[in-house]
């Protein structure tokens, strides 16, 4: 957790650098609403991960301390073996997360963005760690200590940040042959038919080469998933696929077929209802990205609120300890963070109820902080600061309330149709 906390400012520094490169090259790599949604999903994943990742780590530790076959020493070669083993097991988890429908629902969030930039690396599912943890349990049975395992696992995750970019074309040939690179991973995020379910490697690309899932980058990549999310809500991003899957299952005859829909590849259907339909060819020129427009000042408002939310999230993650994880205060803070990014997502989506949810959020945060946490000078100062920010934010936000009126939204739909 400490390694990830130190990495957060580095992530945003590199995102800023990528924005600068894009401006100098006069290319549009970022859209505000898409990047904000990516970061929102990352915030939700980090906050919920404080609870879900503990389950996976606890399972690993339990197996290690009770059922391990060997006592593997913590020496230099242990880390080399762990690096190779973790990357191999990650490959199989990642591959099955694409090839098993029930697992795909925990991974699809990462692929929903229709852009490709470093913010996409932060877009993660809130539930994926519950599935991935199972794939690493063989290492606990073998006798790899939890601390070295966790260290290698985090470092492997950190490596994958930099490969989410279009600013790097190709690395040297020897590097492209061994390691996962931006070019390889762009393919992985493509919805071009030949790119789907390819290049699953985390740090290494050699497992894709060995097991037949490697695909080089040839034609321009069309990013996203075959059925677009069309929402900036980080909550809906985590449940949209399962909502569609449940509807499909209810319309599919036979219990056996319904169960097969969970374990077959996404899009599988029984022959009597049409069978699996491969996605048609697609080009970038055909794609219309989900991009609801809001006033420039409202964009600045959302960016300001995200700075506040990010600072609060960082403080929340830094404050987590084993003895306070399941306390009312920790759970309440986690809920406040998730509700905050959800409310801001509703603003980006221009939901009619967004003004009500946002004003209630701004009023409720200082009140809840005061009620939930023990009275102290720090809490008093924090509450007063949040009350001041909330008051100024309400005044700022209300200038754009007409953006969410039914008349204004109806005019937007007419303009979009034309």
CA–CA distances in Å: residue 275 to residues 99, 241, 242, 267 = 16, 19, 19, 9
3-state secondary structure of 190: strand
Q: How many CB atoms lie within 10 A of CB 319?
A: 11
The pTM assigned to this predicted structure is 0.94
How far apart are the C-alpha atoms of 295 and 287, rounded to whole Å?
24
How far apart are the C-alpha atoms of 149 and 53, rounded to whole Å?
14
- Asked if residue 350 lies in contact with residue 404, where contact means CB atoms within 8 angstroms, the answer is yes
Q: Which residues contact 75 (CB under 8 A, 6 or more apart)?
A: none
Q: Which pLDDT value is given to residue 417?
A: 46
Q: Which pLDDT value is given to residue 323?
A: 73
The tokens of 19 are what?
Answer: 């924005």
Model confidence over 186-202: pLDDT tens digits?
Answer: 999 999 999 999 999 99
Q: How far is CA 214 from the centre of its chain?
A: 24
Model confidence over 213-272: pLDDT tens digits?
Answer: 999 999 999 999 999 999 999 999 999 999 999 999 999 999 999 999 999 999 999 988
Tell how many helices (H) and how many strands (E) occur in the chain: 17, 0
Q: Which pLDDT value is given to residue 3?
A: 75
How far apart are the C-alpha atoms of 337 and 346, rounded to whole Å?
14
For the chain, give the longest Cα–Cα distance: 69
Q: Detail the DSSP E strand segments found in 172-326.
A: none
- Asked if residue 34 lies in contact with residue 113, where contact means CB atoms within 8 angstroms, the answer is yes
- Asked if residue 280 lies in contact with residue 193, where contact means CB atoms within 8 angstroms, the answer is yes
Q: What H or E segment, with its residue span, contains residue 303?
A: helix 296-319
Give the chain's residues under pLDDT 70: 1-2, 406-418
How far apart are the C-alpha atoms of 265 and 308, rounded to whole Å?
40
């Amino acid at each position: 957790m400490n390694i990830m906390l130190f990495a957060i400012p580095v992530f945003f520094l590199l995102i800023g650098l990528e924005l600068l490169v894009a401006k100098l090259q006069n290319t549009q790599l970022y859209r505000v609403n898409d990047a904000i949604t990516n970061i929102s999903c990352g915030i939700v994943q980090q906050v919920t991960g404080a609870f879900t990742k503990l389950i996976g780590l606890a399972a690993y530790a339990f197996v290690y301390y009770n059922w391990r076959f060997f006592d593997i020493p913590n020496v230099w070669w242990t880390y080399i073996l762990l690096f190779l083993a973790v990357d191999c097991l990650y490959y199989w988890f990642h591959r099955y997360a694409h090839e098993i429908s029930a697992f795909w629902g925990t991974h699809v969030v990462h692929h929903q963005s229709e852009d490709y930039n470093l913010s996409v690396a932060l877009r993660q599912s809130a539930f994926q760690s519950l599935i991935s943890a199972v794939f690493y349990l063989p290492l606990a049975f073998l006798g790899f200590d939890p601390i070295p395992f966790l260290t290698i696992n985090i470092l492997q995750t950190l490596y994958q940040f930099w490969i989410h970019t279009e600013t790097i074309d190709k690395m040297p040939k020897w590097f492209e042959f061994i390691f996962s690179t931006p070019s390889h991973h762009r393919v992985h995020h493509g919805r071009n038919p030949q790119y789907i379910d390819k290049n699953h490697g985390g740090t290494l690309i050699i497992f894709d080469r060995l097991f037949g899932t490697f695909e080089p980058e040839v034609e321009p990549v069309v990013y996203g998933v075959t059925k677009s999310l069309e929402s900036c809500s980080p909550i809906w991003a985590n449940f949209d696929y399962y909502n569609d899957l449940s509807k499909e299952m209810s319309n599919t005859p036979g219990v056996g077929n319904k169960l097969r829909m969970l374990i077959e590849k996404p899009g599988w259907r029984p022959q009597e209802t049409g069978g699996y339909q491969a996605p048609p060819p697609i080009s970038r020129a055909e794609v219309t990205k989900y991009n609801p427009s809001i006033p420039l000042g409202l964009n600045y408002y959302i960016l300001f609120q995200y700075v506040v939310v990010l600072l609060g999230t960082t403080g929340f993650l830094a404050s987590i300890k084993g003895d306070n994880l399941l306390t009312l205060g920790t759970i309440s803070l986690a809920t406040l963070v998730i509700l905050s990014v959800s409310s801001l997502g509703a603003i980006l989506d221009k939901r009619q109820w967004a003004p009500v949810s946002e004003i209630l959020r701004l009023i409720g945060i200082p009140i809840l902080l005061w009620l939930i946490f023990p009275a102290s000078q720090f809490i008093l100062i924090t509450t007063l600061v949040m009350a001041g920010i909330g008051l100024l934010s309400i005044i700022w936000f209300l200038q754009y309330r007409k953006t969410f009126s039914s008349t204004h939204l109806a005019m937007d739909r007419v303009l979009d149709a034309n």
